[in-house]
Amino acid sequence: MTHDFDVLIVGSGLAGLSAALHLATTHRVAVLTKRTMTDGASGWAQGGIAAVLAEGDSFDAHVNDTLVAGAGLCDLAATRFVVENAPKAIAWLRGLGVPFSLEDGQLHLTREGGHGARRIAHVTDATGAAVQRTLIDVVRATPGITLFEHHTLVDVITARKLGLPDQRCLGLYALDEVTDEVVTFRAPQTILATGGAGKVYLYTTNPDTATGDGIAAAWRAGCRVANLEFIQFHPTCLYHPHAKSFLISEAVRGEGGRLLLPDGTRFMPQHDARAELAPRDVVARAIDYEMKRHGIDCVHLDISHQSPAFLHEHFPNILARCAELGIDITQQPIPVVPAAHYTCGGVLTDLAGRTDLPGLFAVGETACTGLHGANRLASNSLLECMVFARAAAQYIAAEPAAPMPELPQWDDSRVTDADECVVISHNWDELRRFMWDYVGIVRTNKRLERAAHRITLLQAEIQEFYANFHVTRDLLELRNLVQVAALIVRSAQLRRESRGLHFSRDYPKLAAPAAPTILVPAAV
- The catalytic residue positions are 280
Quick one: DSSP state of residue 373? T
344 contacts 172 by C-beta, under 8 angstroms: no
| Main-chain dihedrals φ then ψ at residue 450, nearest 5 degrees | -60, -45
Closest CA to 366 of 384, 391, 393: 384
The torsion angles phi and psi of 441, rounded to 5 degrees, stand at -65, -40
Determine the 3-state secondary structure of 265 from DSSP: coil
Burial 63-90 (b: 16+ CB within 10 A, else e): bebbbbbbbebbbeebbbbbbebbeebb
| C-alpha separations of 218 from 105, 221, 356, 360, 380 in Å | 45, 5, 9, 8, 24
Q: What share of the chain is helix, strand, coil (3-state, %, to 5)?
A: 40, 20, 45
| Structural element, H or E, at residue 109 | strand 109-110
3-state secondary structure (DSSP) of residue 303: coil
Separation between Cα atoms, residue 37 and residue 32, nearest integer Å: 9
> Side by side, which strands form the sheet with 367-368?
367-368, 346-348, 225-226, 518-519
Nearest CA-CA partner of 194 in 13, 400, 459, 350 = 13
Per the rule left: phi > 0, alpha: psi between -120 and 50, beta: everything else, 34 is alpha
Tell me how far apart the alpha carbons of residues 129 and 106 are, in angstroms, rounded to a whole number: 21
DSSP assignments along 55-88, one per residue: TT--HHHHHHHHHHHTTT-S-HHHHHHHHHHHHH
Of 55, 352, 290, 31, the C-alpha closest to 174 is 31
* CA atoms lying within 13 Å on the CB side of residue 200: 34
- 381/205 Cα distance (integer angstroms): 15
- Residues 277, 269: Cα–Cα separation, whole Å: 10
- Cβ proximity of 407 and 156 under 8 Å: no
